Structure 1
Amino acid sequence: MLFHVLLFWEYLENYAKTRLTYRADFWIEVLSDLAFQAMNLIVILIAFQHTPTLGGWTESEVVFVYGFFMVPFGIFSCFFNLWNFSDRYIVKGEMDRILTRPAYNLVQIMLENMDPPSLFGSLVGLVIMGITSAQMGMTYGLLDILVLILLVAGAVLIYFGIYTALTAIAFYSDSPTGILPLMYNIQNYGRYPVNIYNKVMRFILTWLIPFAFVGVYPAAYFLERSGSDDIKMAFLTPVVGLVFAGIGLAVWNYGVKRYRGAGS
């Protein structure tokens, strides 16, 4: 564990030296990411210009959920940036290089593809949560902060498990599957109240592709919606995260064992 922690700092220092050499590019990336998130927020605000509630949820509540949704996604995008894995590591053969090194292969790949600017999205998400909390008169204690850390960690593990398992498909097929962009679009359903969807979609978002646990369910704990089962579901977030992270690692490790090299 200490070895991997030290390795993380080494990669982070190298990233800083490389990216901050071209600071304009760094801040352009940050601003473009924030602009994209702002557009998503504007869509929510426009929707509430035509309706007072969405599935019984007020504008402030839905915006709060979106703020929470941004926090784990920003952390995931920073440390688990695997979008180009198939092209870079399988098609171009860089997986062979990774497997000759002593550190765990998945850790090496994640460190090589770190994207710290994504953490600004998490900070903006916290700001949104703070603003909407003030509007709704919400207060937080030490326990709430600890629960927030636990729920965010669980949500990050859910992202990690799902996307690691899908990324591992590249070990079985050399061509990009195109499933990651599709999954990216599906995950956005988790930032809206699940009761606006039909029963089939609610089941999928809760148990099969549990993106409801990266947004609306954990956020419901802080909103304290009386009579809502969403609060009870919030406490399952760490459990679901551990289960799907375990599945993702199992699929990944099996794929690595199956990998036979880039060939010629």
Structure 2
Amino acid sequence: MKHILKTAFAAAALATTAFTGAMAEEVKVGVAAEPYPPFTSPDSSGKWIGWEIEFMDAICAEAKLDCVVTPVAWDGIIPALTSGKIDMIIGSMSITEERLKTIDFSDKYYNTPTGIIGAKGDDFDATPEGLSGKIIGVQVSTIHADYAEKYFGEGAAEIKQYQTQDEANQDLAAGRLDAVQADAIALDAFLKSDAGACCELKGNVQDDPAILGAGVGVGLRKGDTELKDKVNAAIKTIRENGTYETFSKNWFDFDIYGG
């Protein structure tokens, strides 16, 4: 009997060890607390949905990570990462030299143009000359705020910064702004909404990789090479095995990965 019990306990211990070893590593994934369709938004039940949520689910499944969506105010999301409150950022964050001074990034997982929208019937284009004298709305702590200040500010246009993209969009719809600059896909989602029926795309801005970056990547703490390697391997795999293309087709009729 003692031998049987001893064998049973040993088997149970091995099973527990195997189960523990198979358990996925928990990772807190920071997303902007406010809705940012079609990338990240809470539905009516509070569940987060969107293209980037499906991207997160795909890479976390591939890398065997237990990823937990953790909403954080956008202007505090990098400090939340560096302080350890979150483990990575999946929030349409562009890879820029300035951000690379503080955090690290995965390989690019998408890249889209930067657009300017304005009221229908208001004739201007997305150039410094076209926006001269206009009031332009941008979200605080974004590449768009930096770009607008450099190219459209300098006394030519008034730049107003907002805590969320939605606030800027709503002020445009209400006539308190002449234009809004943001990611072209996010702006397209607004234009297709009831609130965005007022407005239209005026064009895409001239690219400046030094400010607008080299595409969007997963934000990671410097020195967290193990997690970075897992994420990069997962991005590569889902791109190669068709998973990326499959879920992207649910959201876009073009290749969001970009050039």
Using the size of structure 2 for normalisation, the TM-score is: 0.27
Structure with greater helix percent: 1
Is the radius of gyration larger for structure 1 or structure 2?
2
Using the size of structure 1 for normalisation, the TM-score is: 0.26
